[in-house]
Amino acid sequence: MAVELGATMRVVRPYPNVIGFYDGRIVGVRAHSAAPNWLDDGAFTLGCCSFAIVDGDEALVYDTHMSIPHARIVRRTLEAMGITRMRVILSHWHTDHVAGNAVFSDCEIIASPLTNAALIDNRDWLENNDPPIKPLVMPTTVLDGETTLHVGNTVVEVRFLDIHSHDGTVLLLPQSGVLLAGDTLEDTVTYVVQPERLAIHLRDLDRMDSWAFTRILPNHGSLEQIEAGGYDRAFIAATRLYVENLTRLANEPELAVHDLRSFAAEALATSGIAYFYAYEPVHRHNVEAVLALAAKPDKPA
């Protein structure tokens, strides 16, 4: 069954100063087309949530969602709340995080240097994908490095991580102990885009785990969990266990026969994540990507 883009968006408020805009994980529903495409088979099927940090008449929008209609709902919702000053900050360069940038073209759009470079390098691919992100509105502010922003009286620490994608940007809210994690953590499991960087991903999972916070809001996860305030720190341990198992594949290819539930049994046992059937194809993709890298004669050491 097809629905109008954005028609199934649900707006939640896990914290007084954090609003979530969630769509997807609706069995039997597609939002773009019956043919394979990134919007339905990635963002919508897995569930996608962008966020806004709000305080007074200010908002910092964390990712512009999977389509222009979704971004319009985000903006209308914030304007109806009396928000008059909006800024955007991008978690990374992937499709479902930048597709709505055009709706905020009159606002400051902030990105890390790596995200800005990746958008430049992949602009043609993004603008000619299915569905196309055209025009792709680029960042207006490129950060010099990690920094601290303020949304009204709310402190937002901007930090960089190389997990899932080399250009990850996460937001730490020290006053409430909340981490907005983008795609660095996903429930059920991380989507491996750069298998050659798994060792770096593990290093940065450890770095994330050294930070002070208590709850985690991912862009891909359970609506109910996000609405209830997010995930606890076991989310990090579960992700680490899964990635460690992926790194074993080169020397233990027999692990590749396992489905997600059995491959990630240790991770699921942490209670940091929950099994969601739509991640079976993600897991199969991850396994194939890691094995393909291992088969290359010039694979990284």
- The answer, yes or no, to whether residue 187 has pLDDT greater than 60, is yes
- The answer, yes or no, to whether residue 300 has pLDDT greater than 90, is no
pLDDT digits (tens, 9 = 90+) for 7-20: 999 999 999 999 99
Query: Does residue 31 form part of some domain?
Result: yes
- The answer, yes or no, to whether residue 299 has pLDDT greater than 60, is no
Query: Does residue 301 form part of some domain?
Result: no
% the chain with pLDDT above 90: 95
- What average pLDDT does the structure give for the chain? 96
What is the DSSP pairing of strand 48-55 with strand 58-62? antiparallel
Query: Does residue 5 form part of some domain?
Result: no
Query: Does residue 1 form part of some domain?
Result: no
Query: Does residue 212 form part of some domain?
Result: yes
Domain count, the chain: 1
- The answer, yes or no, to whether residue 132 has pLDDT greater than 70, is yes
pLDDT digits (tens, 9 = 90+) for 22-61: 999 999 999 999 999 999 999 999 999 999 999 999 999 9
Q: Which of 210, 218, 200 is nearest to 162 (CA)?
A: 200
Q: How many CB atoms lie within 10 A of CB 106?
A: 9
The pLDDT of residue 2: 74
What is the span of the domain harbouring residue 242?
Answer: 10-295
CATH of the domain at 158: 3.60.15.10
Query: Does residue 2 form part of some domain?
Result: no
pTM: 0.96
The pLDDT of residue 3: 82
Query: Does residue 108 form part of some domain?
Result: yes
Non-local CB neighbours of 72 within 8 Å, separated by 6+ positions: 6, 100, 103
Region 273-297: mean pLDDT is 95
The pLDDT of residue 112: 98
- The answer, yes or no, to whether residue 298 has pLDDT greater than 70, is no
- The answer, yes or no, to whether residue 301 has pLDDT greater than 70, is no
The amino acid at 120: I
Burial profile 261-291: b = 16 or more Cβ within 10 angstroms, e = fewer: eebbeebbebebbeebebbeebbeebbebbb
In this predicted model, which residue has the larger pLDDT, 6 or 301? 6
pLDDT digits (tens, 9 = 90+) for 59-104: 999 999 999 999 999 999 999 999 999 999 999 999 999 999 999 9
Find where tokens 């992700």 sit: 239
CB 115 within 8 A of CB 98: no
Q: How many CB atoms lie within 10 A of CB 191?
A: 18
Region 275-294: mean pLDDT is 97
Query: Does residue 289 form part of some domain?
Result: yes
pLDDT digits (tens, 9 = 90+) for 102-130: 999 999 999 999 999 999 999 999 999 99
**Which of 217-221, 233-237, 297-301 has the weakest average pLDDT?**
297-301
